Structure 1
Amino acid sequence: MDRFHQMNPFAKRDSHSARSVVWYKILTLASWVLSVVVTVYYTFEAPNDGKYHHDTIWGQNHRHPSGFSLNSLITSIYWIVLFILQLGYISHLFSSKTESINAACSVGSHFIVNNLLHFAFVMLFVRSHFVWAEILLLLNFANLTSLYFRHSAHPRLVHLPAVSGPLAWTFVAIYWNGAIMVPHQNSLVARIFANIFVWSILGYGLFFIVIYKDYTMGLALSVLSASLGVAQFLRQIIALQWIFAFTIMAVLFVLTVLVAVPAWTGRQGPWGGSAERQQADAERAPLLSG
């Protein structure tokens, strides 16, 4: 069992050997570059495979309008900011502080898997292999959820770019790609289901905000809800989906502020318990440990 624990790259460790740190540096940086390059490239270029149904990322979004279509500008800004923050996370691997290196390495295996699955998702999505793309999103959702709950005590600059940012996107992307995947995505039945399932974004965000005081999840999901709302408004003004999306955005944003301000100032939190108390309970409130 000890040998398996030593060989398991996803096992929780308090320290990492010099050799493993080197490998984390190489694989983390390489997988991040791969993820960034393929995302940027297919934002502007479609696959040149001679297939009529191939398109860019946002070409697919416009080609298959649905109840979960996203706004290309807001979502692109979300990813630009996330990629920049991830570069900051990677810099922790090259820090002179042992605690910063260990914090970065503790999420490294999951982060590398996230990058590889994101790369594969984009490659499949732009080639209209939506079913396989959905399977990869579900696998990555399981990967990032495991990361969140098994490795919870991280500084904010590790947690946001490596954990909550990708997890929030993957949760929304499951609906985005899933709506494209199903046939007759513009039918009355599809619209009704979209109007119901959109509220799961609120429920998902409330879980992390209320239980874990995770304002970064609230912020990320509020931005993606805004992307959904703008896209649905521009698509069809007389509809419920954009009203629901903006309502979800507003609720998540207000609750995010209510949690974030006490965390930053050390004052009493909105549901009892001060920021200092949350800091002491890092396993239950991961954002306040850094």
Structure 2
Amino acid sequence: MPENETLDRVHDVNPFKSRDEHTRNHVVALKIGTVISWLIVVVTALYYEFNAPHTGKHSRHKIWHQPHTPFAMNSIITSLYWLALFIMQIGYVWHLYSSNTTYVTAAANVGSHFIAHNLLLMGIIHLWVRSHYWLAELLVIINFFNLSAAYFRHSTTPRFIHIPVVSGPLAWNFVALYWVGAAAVHAHSLPARIVANIFIWGIFVYGGFFLSAYKDYTMGFELSILSAAIGVTQFLHKIIAFQWIFAFVIMAVLFLASVGVSTGRGPFKSGEIVSEDRERAPLLDDQ
């Protein structure tokens, strides 16, 4: 078999390949996989929100009976964040059943990434509540690459798909790199807190990158919410500390910058960062 023909067949069966059209069987498979994986992760998250595992040799706990670290997040804010994403993801699933082929194609192109994210998130939750923090961090890293690929490969996806399936999970996953990683290294000492005071600015840099390079204010708003979740918990744990101050500063700056980008005001005026003829413009700038 010629090499080019072999490569073409590999690309045809690649579930993460972007396509202009999807076969009926492929869309049906995505519908089934999406619904099942979404239900599994929602049930898993809700169960461990209120229950600890009954089996396992390691320390077992509910999701929010988390070890306190410099990146521990407020349970109410983060739970509401995920509740909003889960609800919006219902809308995403609905678009797979839409009669509009444009919406179906856009939803199907990120479908495999979404299914992979759901399965990885389910694994992260199971490992987290059983205190397998290093393995959980490994899955967080894998999911970070999965969601990053979805973001950069499908940048023109409409917002009602982009937010619940791509940017929302990606923003949380980036912060989870710190959240789970801090638990894995038992970041409780003074040196660990000093390092955390530096690393927390990675959230600001990451959010600033999407705001300046792609004018994606959805990432800015999402990261500002998660920064607030960190700030609240750090403040309640220790009033005299830099971590919560930095978290709230990051929250405020990202929020204000996101408002500026979304309204076309301030230093990120429309067209100054991403020209209107670029491929990303239909997603990140409606003008």
Same-fold call, TM > 0.5? yes
Unaligned runs of 5+ in 2: 1-6
Q: Give 1:1-40 correspondences, 5 Å limit.
A: 1-40=7-46
CA RMSD of aligned residues (A): 1.8
1:42: which partner in 2? 48
Do residues 94 (structure 1) and 91 (structure 2) align? no
SS of the aligned residue for 1:211 comes to helix
Distance 1:139 1:50 in 2: 24
2:61: which partner in 1? 55
Do residues 140 (structure 1) and 143 (structure 2) align? yes
1:271: which partner in 2? 268
Cα deviation 1:68-109 (Å, max 9, x = unaligned): 010000000000001011111111101110000000000000
Q: Which amino acid aligns with 2:9?
A: R
1:215: which partner in 2? 217
Question: Does structure 2 retain, via aligned residues, the 8 Å contact 1:70–1:231?
Answer: yes
Q: 1:12 to 1:44 in 2, by over 3 A?
A: same
TM-score (norm 2): 0.93
- 1:289 positional shift: 5.9
Cα deviation 1:99-120 (Å, max 9, x = unaligned): 0000000000001000000000
Distance 1:138 1:231 in 2: 24
Choose the corresponding residue for 1:103, options 106, 121, 143. Answer: 106
Cα deviation 1:266-288 (Å, max 9, x = unaligned): xx77434449x856423367333
TM-score (norm 1): 0.92
Question: Does structure 1 retain, via aligned residues, the 8 Å contact 2:95–2:103?
Answer: yes
2:83: which partner in 1? 80
Unaligned runs of 5+ in 1: 263-267
Q: Give 1:200-239 correspondences, 5 Å limit.
A: 200-239=202-241
Do residues 288 (structure 1) and 280 (structure 2) align? no
Distance 1:138 1:20 in 2: 28
Alignment length (residue pairs): 280
SS of the aligned residue for 1:57 comes to coil
Distance 1:274 1:66 in 2: 41
Shift >6 Å, 4+ stretches: none
SS of the aligned residue for 1:58 comes to coil
Q: 1:279 to 1:106 in 2, by over 3 A?
A: farther
